[in-house]
Amino acid sequence: MNNREKTKSTGFAISEYPDVREIMKQLNAQEIDADEVVIKTKNGNLVIRDPQVVRMSVSGVPTFQIIGEAREEEAGVNPDDVKLVMQNTGCSEKQAIDALAKSKGDIAEAIMKLKD
């Protein structure tokens, strides 16, 4: 995804601002072309699709800046399972995630609950 596309999804393209470009150069910052960032927590995952990711060095410590919309996923819910449940029931992503969480990942049970 190029910067123009990233601007559409995040509303901000770092490399379009001259002052920011200069700071990025000083921090040895590099944009990373990422499709998705997943932050795993004990309670689930934060998933950021089409993020703008910048890697830089601050006081010699590698640092990452991530810009984008995050959505929460329940712990243990497989994204492929969510898609499968959505395709079979026509439900929303949130409904599929909730049904999978309640059925402890059992796809068939989640589908049956949503079709009732």
- Identify whether the C-beta of residue 115 lies closer than 8 Å to the C-beta of residue 90: no
Instruction: State whether CATH 2.60.120 applies to domain 76-115.
Output: no
Interatomic CA distance for residues 61 and 26, integer angstroms: 14
Query: pLDDT per residue over 10-60, tens digit each?
Result: 566 666 777 877 877 777 888 999 999 999 888 778 899 999 999 998 888
- Identify whether the C-beta of residue 31 lies closer than 8 Å to the C-beta of residue 42: no
- Identify whether the C-beta of residue 55 lies closer than 8 Å to the C-beta of residue 29: yes
Per-residue model confidence (pLDDT) at position 11: 60
Query: pLDDT per residue over 76-93, tens digit each?
Result: 778 899 999 999 999 999
Per-residue model confidence (pLDDT) at position 12: 61
CATH label, 3-73, candidates 2.20.70.30, 3.40.50.360, 1.20.58.100, 3.90.228.20: 2.20.70.30
Per-residue model confidence (pLDDT) at position 15: 62
The pLDDT confidence band at residue 113, using thresholds 50, 70 and 90, is very high
Phi and psi, residue 72, nearest 5°: -95, 140
Taking Cα atoms as reference points, which of 102, 94, 96, 97 lies closest to residue 115? Answer: 96
CATH 2.20.70.30 range(s) for the chain read 3-73
